[in-house]
Amino acid sequence: MKIQGVRVPVQTEDEYFMRQALDLARMADAMGEVPVGAVMVREGRIVGYGYNCPITTGDPTAHAEIRALRDAAGKVGNYRLPGCTLYVTLEPCVMCIGAMFHARVTRLVYAADDPKTGVCGSLLDLPADTRINHHLMVSRGVLADEAGTLLKQFFIAKRSTKQRNTS
């Protein structure tokens, strides 16, 4: 699209919602948490928000996805969330994808791959496993560079702080 000789980038719906998740990831980062954010979308509207906070809450289940699922279920009034899409800045772990299966989430969109704990194609591919009762569509790599940079910067800073504290 051109406006007075200037090219205006067109943002897809997936990019729009992923940017909302990235804003939440930055909130987690500001709290000293691994910067992961998630939003649950139904019929083009955000119905659930979440960002990582297991350290500050002392809750190992306080991943961004779980918090977005809980928020959405509370707002919708049902633990089942068919017709919903979860946008998250990092490939989900086993716990989070399991919760999405149980909630009957229709679609997952994630930004950065997680080669150490990701189970949507990196370490394992649980959504593709036909033995599992529920399946969901998966889209990968939406704003992956931006999410990956945020994560890399977080871990560089963490390692730098750790090295200063041990010297």
User: Tens of pLDDT along 132-167?
Assistant: 988 899 999 999 999 999 999 999 998 887 666 766
| Whole-structure pTM value | 0.91
Is 65 annotated as catalytic?
yes
Assess contact for 84 and 75: CB atoms under 8 A.
Answer: no
Assess contact for 40 and 64: CB atoms under 8 A.
Answer: no
Residue 116 zone, left/alpha/beta (φ > 0; ψ -120 to 50; rest): alpha
User: Tens of pLDDT along 119-132?
Assistant: 999 999 999 999 99
Q: Which of 33, 65, 91, 146 is catalytic?
A: 65
Rounded to whole angstroms, the Cα distance separating 53 from 34 reads 8
- In 3D space, the residue among 94, 109, 112, 108 whose CA is nearest the CA of residue 153 turns out to be 112
User: Tens of pLDDT along 52-81?
Assistant: 999 999 999 999 999 999 999 999 999 999
